[in-house]
Amino acid sequence: MRALRNRLIFHFSLQFICISIAIALIVVILFMMLLTHIVKEELKMNLTTGSLEGIITETEITDDRADIPENWLALLKKKNMWIQIINKNGHVIEGYNTPPDLPINYSINDIHLIDQNQKIKEYTTITELDTTYEDPYYYILGFEDLQTKKLQRLFSTYNENGTIPQKYLYKIEKELLKKEETIHVIDASGDVIQSVGKNILQSEKYLPLDLLTRKKAPGFYLTGTSFYHDPNSDLIWLHISPKEKEETSRLTTLEQFVLATVIVGATVFILTISLSIWNGFRYGQPLLIFTSWLERMGNRQYEEVLTEKERRKIFRKNGKVRVRYRLYREVINAFYEMTERLSASEKEKQQLEKTREEWMTGISHDLRTPLSSMKGYGHILESGNYEWSKEELIEIGHTIVVKSDYMQTLLEDFILTFQIKNKALPLTKKVIDLNSVTNQMITKFQKDRTLRNTSILFHYSQETAYVTLDSKWFERMIDNLILNSIKHNPPGVTIIIKITVDFSTNHVILSVIDNGTGMDKETREQLFNRYYRGTSTEENNDGTGLGMNIAKGIAELHHATIEVDSEVNIGTTVKIIFPLSQ
> Would you say domain 47-144 falls under CATH 3.40.30.10?
no
The pLDDT value given to residue 167: 86
Edge-first strand order for the sheet with 123-130 is 92-96, 81-86, 137-143, 123-130, 119-120
Q: Which pLDDT score, from 0 to 100, does residue 210 have?
A: 79
pLDDT of res. 326: 64
Residue 92: what pLDDT? Answer: 92
Q: Please tell me the least confidently modeled range out of 158-167, 344-353, 466-475.
A: 344-353
How wide is the angle at C-alpha 76 spanned by C-alphas 114 and 112, nearest 5°?
10
* pLDDT of the residue at 279: 65
Residue range 430-579 forms a domain whose CATH class is alpha beta
What pLDDT score does 225 carry? 80
**Which has the closest alpha carbon to 169: 190, 200, 150, 194?**
194
Residues 6+ apart with CB under 8 A from 555: 477, 561, 562, 576
Burial 11-39 (b: 16+ CB within 10 A, else e): eeeeeeeeeeeeeeeeeeebeeebeeebe
Position 409 pLDDT exceeds 50? yes
pLDDT at 578: 94
Average pLDDT over residues 263-291: 72
Task: Considering only residues 449 and 338, tell me which one the structure prediction assigns the higher pLDDT.
Answer: 449
- pLDDT of res. 531: 52
* 161 has pLDDT over 80: yes
Give dist(CA 394, CA 401) in Å, integer.
10
Percent of the chain with pLDDT over 90: 16
CATH class of 147-242: alpha beta
pLDDT band at 44 (very low <50, low <70, confident <90, very high): low
Tell me the mean pLDDT in the region 91-116.
Answer: 90
What mean pLDDT is predicted for residues 316-321? 77
Give dist(CA 279, CA 275) in Å, integer.
Answer: 6
- Mean pLDDT of all residues in 38-54: 70
More confident position, 50 or 456: 456
DSSP 3-state assignment of 566?
strand
Query: Where is average pLDDT lowest: 106-120, 337-351, 442-456, 469-483?
Result: 337-351
Counting Cα atoms < 13 Å in the Cβ hemisphere of 119 gives 8
**Residue in 115, 90, 94, 119 with CA at minimum distance from that of residue 105:** 90
% of residues, the chain, pLDDT over 70: 77
The one-letter code for the residue type at 67 is D
pLDDT over 70 at 488, yes or no: yes
pLDDT of residue 540: 43
Tens digits of residue pLDDT in 230-248: 888 889 988 888 866 544 4
Highest mean pLDDT pick, 106-120, 187-201, 412-426, 504-518? 504-518
DSSP assignments along 457-521, one per residue = EEE--SS--EEEE-HHHHHHHHHHHHHHHHHTS-TT-EEEEEEEEETTTTEEEEEEEE-S----H
pLDDT value, residue 566: 92
Q: What is the band of 438 on the pLDDT scale with cuts at 50, 70, 90?
A: very high
Is residue 468 pLDDT above 70, yes or no?
yes
- At residue 124, does pLDDT exceed 60? yes
Name the nearest CA neighbour of 460 among 429, 436, 489, 428: 436
State the average pLDDT over residues 252-258.
62
Q: Locate the domains of the chain by residue range.
A: 47-144, 147-242, 351-421, 430-579
Rounded mean pLDDT of the chain? 79
Query: What is 351-421's CATH number, 1.10.357.10, 2.60.40.720, 1.10.287.130, 3.50.30.50?
Result: 1.10.287.130
Return the higher-pLDDT residue of 187 and 19: 187
> How far apart, in whole angstroms, are the C-alpha atoms of residue 179 and residue 198?
9
Rounded to a whole number of angstroms, the distance between the first and last alpha carbons of the chain is 65
Same fold, 47-144 and 147-242: yes
Tell which residue, 40, 95, 100, 41, has the closest CA to residue 68.
95
Please write down the HEC assignment for all residues of 56-121. HHHCEEECCEEECCHHHHHHHHHCCEEEEEECCCCEEEEEECCCCCCCCECCHHHHHHHHHHCEEC
E strand intervals along 171-267: 182-186, 192-197, 223-230, 235-242
Coil, helix or strand for 162? coil
CA angle 566, 568, 573 (to 5 degrees): 20
**pLDDT per residue as tens digits for the range 490-503:** 888 999 999 999 98
Instruction: Determine the pLDDT at residue 4.
Output: 38
Residue pair 214/157 in contact by the 8 Å Cβ criterion: no
Q: What is the C-alpha separation between 509 and 259, in angstroms, rounded?
A: 36
Using CA atoms, how far apart are residues 56 and 59, in angstroms rounded to an integer? Answer: 5
When pLDDT is averaged across residues 75-85 and rounded to a whole number, the result is 89
DSSP 8-state code for residue 209? T
